[in-house]
Amino acid sequence: MIKKCLFPAAGFGTRFLPATKAVPKEMMPILTKPLLQYAVEEALDAGMSNMAIVTGKRKRAIEDHFDRALELEAQIQGTQKEVLLKEINVVCNKATFTYVRQKQILGLGHAILTGEPLIGNEPFAVHLADDLCTSENDNVLTQMIQVYNKYQCSIVAIEQVPIDQTHKYGVIAGNLVDNTNDTYRVTDMIEKPAPKDAPTNMAIIGRYILTPDIFNILKQTKPGKGGEIQITDALLTQAKQGRVIAYKFKGKRFDCGSIQGYVEATNYFAKQQGII
């Protein structure tokens, strides 16, 4: 059973300045709920209870959010507003939260490596809160755990993107396995390739199931694209050994790291709740 989910949350969120000057980008709300709360709820629904969060400076609001606010609860006790804290209190009671700071912003691979003391020697999930996903049935992490249980290796979630957008993603090439139309054994991975260099238009999105040997691989991985330690480069080492599966998840993704995607997500959830 995969019980731990790692949330890299140390970035500056510069695309949302000035809002993220003092507010962590992971705490930006879609309606009344922060992105990171959506992420933690997805992990909980997938059967994980240990939430390992890699933070940085100016991120104390994350720890405060996933803690009881007794003074606030006392203030609204017995009022109609009391129910508004029910969801987050359920999350706080069900999950255990551990934290470590990423002292330098050196890429997603480095952020994941920073989380090693919180994970230990066991397979784990990685969830990027920027990628908010919805699905009609099982959520994305639940789907990926089912794939992991079958193949027992690292799993990356993918979706097809316009070819002119490949420079924003890690891109995979692979071969379909077991007569499926959504599961590939990865043969190549490239971080943010120009369209002319992209092997396909199948892009990795912010969900991973990783085997613990990834930590030793990351320690040996040299800085790549942008001078950062890229998880894509580390996963390529596993892929060359046939140990990475790419899964085309069922659901809809909103890129809430971009203003356009953030607005689209807000409108979608507002319509779902009958607000607009």
Domain of residue 166, CATH code: 3.90.550.10
Tell whether the model's pLDDT for residue 76 goes beyond 90. yes
pLDDT value for 253: 97
Residue 179's pLDDT band (cuts 50, 70, 90): confident
What the block records as the tokens of 50 is 């240990």
pLDDT value for 61: 95
Alpha helices, DSSP H only, in the chain? Answer: 35-45, 60-65, 70-76, 86-94, 108-114, 116-119, 140-151, 214-220, 231-239, 259-272
For 84-99, the pLDDT digits (tens) are 999 999 999 999 999 9
Contact between residue 158 and residue 248 where contact means Cβ atoms under 8 Å apart: yes
Q: How many domains does the chain have?
A: 1
Contact between residue 202 and residue 172 where contact means Cβ atoms under 8 Å apart: yes
Q: What is the mean pLDDT of residues 100-107?
A: 92
C-alpha separations of 4 from 42, 108, 121, 126, 241 in Å:
12, 18, 11, 9, 25
pLDDT value for 58: 85
Q: What is the mean pLDDT of residues 241-248?
A: 97
The residue range of the domain holding 143 is 4-273
Residue 276's pLDDT band (cuts 50, 70, 90): confident
Tell whether the model's pLDDT for residue 145 goes beyond 90. yes
How deeply is 43 buried, as exposed, middle or buried, from its count of CB atoms within 10 A (0-12, 13-18, 19+)? Answer: buried
Contact between residue 83 and residue 129 where contact means Cβ atoms under 8 Å apart: no
Tell whether the model's pLDDT for residue 180 goes beyond 90. no
One DSSP character per residue, 127-141 reads E-TTEEEE-SSS-HH
- C-alpha span between 94 and 270 (Å, rounded): 27
- C-alpha span between 212 and 141 (Å, rounded): 17
End-to-end CA distance of the chain: 40
pLDDT value for 193: 95
For 13-50, the pLDDT digits (tens) are 999 999 999 999 999 999 999 999 999 999 999 999 99
